[in-house]
Structure 1
Amino acid sequence: MVNISESAIENIGKVLNDPKRPMKERFRALFSLRNLGGETAIKCISECFTDDSVLLKHELAYCLGQMQDVRAVPVLKSVLEDKNQDPIVRHEAGEALGAIGDPDLQALLEKYQNDSAIEVAETCQIALQRLKWIAGRKTSEEENLSQSRYASIDPAPPSEVADVEELRNTMMDESNSLFERYRALFSLRNLGTTESINALGEGLKASSALFRHEVAFIFGQMQDERSVPFLKKTLEDTAEHEMVRHEAAEALGSIATDECTEVLKRYLHDPRPVVRESCEVALDMSEYENSPEFQYANTLLSVQA
């Protein structure tokens, strides 16, 4: 393990917290801090929640959750409780608290499971179910279920079912809990077949914007060109919720084909800041995917240069 000085981490934090920097540079700084981890990195990320960018603050919360460090709980709690924050940011704070998985968070999540912002309420419902699932695990097989092959902390463990049709039916049955539908969603992701990708595409017709946004996020994880038509249609739908379109944009950036780049460029000036900033970041991700660069989160190299 390379020993990184506190001053180097603080310098990355300065890049993240500088609103004059291009959003793509600030994103790379954020993911550099996530990868480094530790108290100083958490402090640098936490300081950025006063920024004007809803997209950036959403990603701050996401990264804090993925770090799974209980030292991030106080700032995530304050963001979830702050009704002045955009629901997109508050939702991600709720999801991050679920990712950290501290059983002491149950009362807080219960408080917001009926929040007036539906995205926040649904997220807290899923996060609560995740805490209960963690508490009820008894076997090593169940433990392994929570380990994502995409090196992510997922909002729900994949289902043990492997039949695409059964998973699709579970996912699309809106009488099921969102947690169970998410479990089906992640199982379809893990199968990675044409049939499972087409089933996931149907998930973009679900009534919940939160659910649709998770489908788009999963397509970004998979980086499979077979999902491009679904993502392209989602980004092009200007009536779609911005949290869904933003995830579709970032997913297209991860897949990084010429077709993806072309559609992202068309929405660089979208009237919704979350969407246009996502397209800017996605184009940077696309450039990285098509370059010989070793690491996307490479800000450490630039601040030490």
Structure 2
Amino acid sequence: MESSRAVEEVDASPFLSVDTAAPAPSLTDTASFRQILQDDQAPTYRLYSALFAVKNRGGAEAVEAIVVALGCESALLKHEVTYVLGQLQEICTIDALIQSLENGLEHPKVRHEAAEALGSIAKPF
């Protein structure tokens, strides 16, 4: 039996993790996802959905959009952002991760995940 609703396509995840939200539809451009990730008033599910869609997309623009989210107010989102940066293992994120790790005002779970992400990059810095 066919559904009357159209199925939205999402990017296939190259990661073996189980994300806490389904990635947003792949039709959205990275710049729009970046705007969502900067919106401290956006619902958590929408933030996570944008984060995972951008993560799955990859590339320099996606990494930049994710790093921008480290400036949000939500420690919960920043924790997930640092986890995602660890999955991506991009050298260009090292400075942002070190900044999160060294920030004594940052939530301990965010700092912990930043340290884990740095360890997963496994490159000299």
Residues 148 and 154 of structure 1 are in contact (CA less than 8 Å); yes or no, is this contact kept in structure 2?
A: no
Alignment of 1:61-80 (within 5 A): none
Aligned pair count?
120
Question: How far apart, in 2, do the equivalents of 1:214 and 1:241 lie?
Answer: 12
- Superposition RMSD in Å: 2.0
Q: What residue in structure 1 maps to residue 104 of structure 2?
A: 238
> Is residue 62 of structure 2 the alignment partner of residue 196 of structure 1?
yes
> Is residue 40 of structure 2 the alignment partner of residue 174 of structure 1?
yes
Alignment of 1:100-179 (within 5 A): 145=10, 148-160=13-25, 161-179=27-45
Q: What residue in structure 2 maps to residue 228 of structure 1?
A: 94
Q: What residue in structure 2 maps to residue 211 of structure 1?
A: 77
Runs of 4+ in 1 over 4 A off after TM superposition: 144-147
> Is residue 122 of structure 2 the alignment partner of residue 248 of structure 1?
no
Residues 82 and 117 of structure 2 are in contact (CA less than 8 Å); yes or no, is this contact kept in structure 1?
A: yes
Q: What residue in structure 2 maps to residue 70 of structure 1?
A: none
User: Deviation of residue 257 (structure 1)?
Assistant: 1.0
Supply the AA of the counterpart residue of 1:153. V
Supply the AA of the counterpart residue of 2:13. S
Per the normalisation by structure 2, the TM-score is 0.86
Residues 147 and 153 of structure 1 are in contact (CA less than 8 Å); yes or no, is this contact kept in structure 2?
A: no
Question: How far apart, in 2, do the equivalents of 1:146 and 1:223 lie?
Answer: 19
> Is residue 52 of structure 2 the alignment partner of residue 186 of structure 1?
yes
Structure number with the bigger relative contact order (C-alpha 8 A, sep ≥ 6) is: 2
Alignment of 1:39-58 (within 5 A): none
Question: How far apart, in 2, do the equivalents of 1:145 and 1:162 lie?
Answer: 10
Question: How far apart, in 2, do the equivalents of 1:211 and 1:239 lie?
Answer: 16
Question: How far apart, in 2, do the equivalents of 1:179 and 1:239 lie?
Answer: 25
5+ residue gaps, structure 1? 1-137, 260-305
Q: Report SS of the residue matched to 2:32.
A: helix
Please give the per-residue CA displacement for 1:30-63, whole angstroms capped at 9, x wherever unaligned: xxxxxxxxxxxxxxxxxxxxxxxxxxxxxxxxxx
User: Deviation of residue 147 (structure 1)?
Assistant: 5.9
Aligned-residue sequence identity (percent) comes to: 38
Question: How far apart, in 1, do the equivalents of 2:51 and 2:12 lie?
Answer: 15
Please give the per-residue CA displacement for 1:213-264, whole angstroms capped at 9, x wherever unaligned: 10000001111112111111111112111000000000011001111xxxxx
Q: Kindly name which structure, 1 or 2, has the bigger radius of gyration based on alpha carbons.
A: 1
Q: Report SS of the residue matched to 2:41.
A: coil
Supply the AA of the counterpart residue of 2:121. I
Which is richer in helix?
1
Residues 146 and 157 of structure 1 are in contact (CA less than 8 Å); yes or no, is this contact kept in structure 2?
A: no
Residues 10 and 23 of structure 2 are in contact (CA less than 8 Å); yes or no, is this contact kept in structure 1?
A: yes
With over 3 angstroms needed to count, the CA separation of the structure-2 counterparts of 1:183 and 1:156, relative to structure 1, is same
Residues 162 and 191 of structure 1 are in contact (CA less than 8 Å); yes or no, is this contact kept in structure 2?
A: no
